[in-house]
A = this chain, B = another copy of it.
Amino acid sequence: MIGRPLPTADAPHQTIGKAIGLAVFASDALSSTAYATQEMMVILALAGAGAFHFSIPLSFGIVILLTILTFSYEQTIHAYPGGGGAYIVARDNLGELPAQTAGAALLMDYILTVAVSISSGVAQIVSAAPTLFPYRVWIAVALVMFIMVINLRGVKESGIVFSIPTYFFIIMMYTTVILGLLKYFTGSLMPVINPPEIEMIHAAHPITFFLILRAFSNGTAAVTGVEAISNGITAFREPRSKNAGQTLIIMAFILGSLLLGITFLSYNIGALPSESETVISQMMRTIYEGRGVMYIAGIVATTVILVMAANTAFADFPRLSALHAGDGFLPRQMTFRGSRLVYSYGIVSLSVIASLLIIIFQASVTNLIPLYAIGVFLSFTLSQFGMARRWWKVGHLQPGEERVEKGSTLRFENGWQYKLVINGFGALVTFLVMMVFGITKFLDGAWIVIILTPILVSIFYAIHFHYKRVASRLSLTNYNVPPKIRRHRVILTVGGVHRGSLTALRYARMITDDVTAVHVTIDPEESQRIQKKWEIWGDGVRLVVLDSPYRLFVEPLLEYIEEIAKNMQPNELLTIVVPQFIARGKATQLLHQRTADTLRKELLFQKNIVITEVPYQLGE
């Protein structure tokens, strides 16, 4: 089931235009409109329904934040036409530690993207089919597993696959919002019928500035995903920076207008935030006057875009891991896409951790949101500071001078001061938002991320130091080529005299003249039979029979090998040749011992011993 087609899935897309680019990169950002309004209202509800009107100015605040980010990232896209994710920008301009920090924050955030998006998707499903409410955690976990299998299997993801759900969502949402606004201005917009019972009837808080900031923090979840395009510039058709930049602006416009529209309408119909029915669902059924076809279409569109958003995290996670790995902060094998095993581990880990989060937080977006966004804003901040630093460097180059960095090439540009100001301002704003988020959400769960980020960064550095140590040990500086090998012995393990062992014997004879065959026996009779057959077929090679009175197999062999190894000179080398049957089926293969693996494990730290398995295909 989880078989071969990985390479196609990982093959690069044809370069794409703006229309498809929007479809591919926008799902993460746009899907957050499905929960941002509701999560602001959840906090405002603590001060009673009278505080809901704050959601409208807060949404404007978030749109301003979105505008700042769009300007900032537009600059990044032009500066890093080869891809300008936070990791690369931070690495090239701020150094290793900020880059590792930004990466760690983002890796955790991808996991949360899965958990939050799927939880919100399930909340939409449950809104339309309330009988499913008790099963929401398991539906969410099942969806994660579904995406996992798709990604393990590897599916050819064409532009169409992304376009249909994204544009369906955009069209459905605009239709809903515009219809809603028409009704509002013609005075025919009714309040929600049977709104869900509001669950958070705490002792009504006063409306404090802190509460407003908390609500704002929740709303910032809307801007997560804005950075997606800056990671994927290379996917765009030339002039790619221009195309990518314009796509970013279009995306930001759609995101901002939808957020404002949804918030405005939700407020005016008197929607209430609830775990049992989403604000989106309340808005849809009010505007479409019941749970008819349009309502269902709207809920389906919202659910599907949320699942797509979760799916993008499955692509982003290994891509970012590969960057870390390439710089030696994660296992090197992650650098390569093709390593199916490693890739699969990554996908499975991501799914398992996201599922655990869903189970622990009961598939509630409200419970998960305090962990979300803080990582994104940390990476925003580092990325913008990096960009500001970059403009400073650009401004101090001579005109015509070039400076090649890993991620991009620096050339003097006029007006670098303005650009520095834009990114610097972006850095400042995102930093402030991050602080606000961290403080207002600290006890709600942000502390988990605040503790985990430095731990993760420490692990990255531990890995990095290991590789550095290894590199210095492997270095050829002051390396004396070891003496030429004077003697190459081969020990051939022989379980019986048959085609398999003769194939191995032929191999052993080819690589040296100094071959000893060894047979471990627990049965003297069988041993005699083997010795007789060996006289005929053994090609003159000496056969040593090791008695194993206690029915041990590896131990006598190891003893024999270690005895020889002890007396070896530094210019001697020992190869152990092991015949290995290869059966067609996996089950039948279990019937054949893998002696070489066992020996390899036992002789791991013995120098100058090589273990070679000579396969013999049974070919049944």
Among A461-519, those with CB < 8 Å from B are 463, 466-467, 469-471, 473-476, 479, 481-482, 485, 488, 496-500, 502-503, 506-507, 510-512
Quick one: copies of this chain in the complex?
2
**Is A337 in contact with B550, judged by CB distance below 8 angstroms?**
yes
Among A371-429, those with CB < 8 Å from B are none
Among A324-344, those with CB < 8 Å from B are 331-333, 335-342
- Number of A residues, CB within 8 Å of B: 81
Query: Within the complex, what minimum Cβ distance (angstroms) separates A595 from chain B?
Result: 9
**Is A11 in contact with B610, judged by CB distance below 8 angstroms?**
no
B residues within 8 A CB of A488?
510-511
Nearest chain B residue, comparing its CB with the CB of A588? B466
Q: How far is the CA of A123 from the CA of B525 in the complex (A)?
A: 50
Query: Within the complex, what minimum Cβ distance (angstroms) separates A404 from chain B?
Result: 10
Q: How far is the CA of A466 from the CA of B587 in the complex (A)?
A: 11
**Is B605 in contact with A467, judged by CB distance below 8 angstroms?**
no
Residue A547 is within 8 A (CB to CB) of chain B in the complex: no
**Is B467 in contact with A591, judged by CB distance below 8 angstroms?**
yes
**Is A613 in contact with B611, judged by CB distance below 8 angstroms?**
yes
**Is A619 in contact with B510, judged by CB distance below 8 angstroms?**
no
Residue A280 is within 8 A (CB to CB) of chain B in the complex: no
Residue A620 is within 8 A (CB to CB) of chain B in the complex: yes
Residue A244 is within 8 A (CB to CB) of chain B in the complex: no
B residues within 8 A CB of A7?
550, 552, 555
Q: How far is the CA of A389 from the CA of B476 in the complex (A)?
A: 75
B residues within 8 A CB of A590?
331
Q: How far is the CA of A184 from the CA of B243 in the complex (A)?
A: 102
**Is B474 in contact with A593, judged by CB distance below 8 angstroms?**
no
Report which of B332, B510, B598 forms a contact with A573, defined as CB distance below 8 A. Answer: B510
Q: How far is the CA of A470 from the CA of B614 in the complex (A)?
A: 17
Nearest chain B residue, comparing its CB with the CB of A490? B511
Residue A612 is within 8 A (CB to CB) of chain B in the complex: yes
**Is A336 in contact with B553, judged by CB distance below 8 angstroms?**
yes
Identify which of A10, A474, A498, A613 gathers the most chain B CB atoms within 10 Å of its CB.
A474
B residues within 8 A CB of A550?
7, 10-12, 337-338
Residue A537 is within 8 A (CB to CB) of chain B in the complex: yes
**Is B463 in contact with A591, judged by CB distance below 8 angstroms?**
yes
**Is B552 in contact with A333, judged by CB distance below 8 angstroms?**
no
B residues within 8 A CB of A339?
553-554, 593, 598
Query: Within the complex, what minimum Cβ distance (angstroms) separates A546 from chain B?
Result: 12
Query: Within the complex, what minimum Cβ distance (angstroms) separates A472 from chain B?
Result: 10
Report which of B10, B471, B617 forms a contact with A605, defined as CB distance below 8 A. Answer: B617
**Is B473 in contact with A497, judged by CB distance below 8 angstroms?**
no
B residues within 8 A CB of A554?
336, 338-340
Residue A600 is within 8 A (CB to CB) of chain B in the complex: yes
Nearest chain B residue, comparing its CB with the CB of A479? B499
**Is B473 in contact with A620, judged by CB distance below 8 angstroms?**
yes
Residue A551 is within 8 A (CB to CB) of chain B in the complex: yes
**Is A466 in contact with B11, judged by CB distance below 8 angstroms?**
no
Identify which of A10, A336, A499, A598 gathers the most chain B CB atoms within 10 Å of its CB.
A336
Known pairs A336-B553, A485-B510 / 16 extra A-B pairs, C-beta < 8 Å = A7-B550, A7-B555, A10-B551, A333-B593, A336-B552, A336-B554, A337-B550, A338-B551, A467-B591, A473-B499, A473-B619, A474-B496, A475-B498, A476-B499, A582-B605, A607-B617
Please provide the 10 A-B residue pairs with the shortest distance between their CB atoms, ordered closest to farther: A338-B552, A474-B498, A336-B553, A333-B593, A511-B511, A337-B551, A612-B612, A474-B499, A338-B555, A331-B591
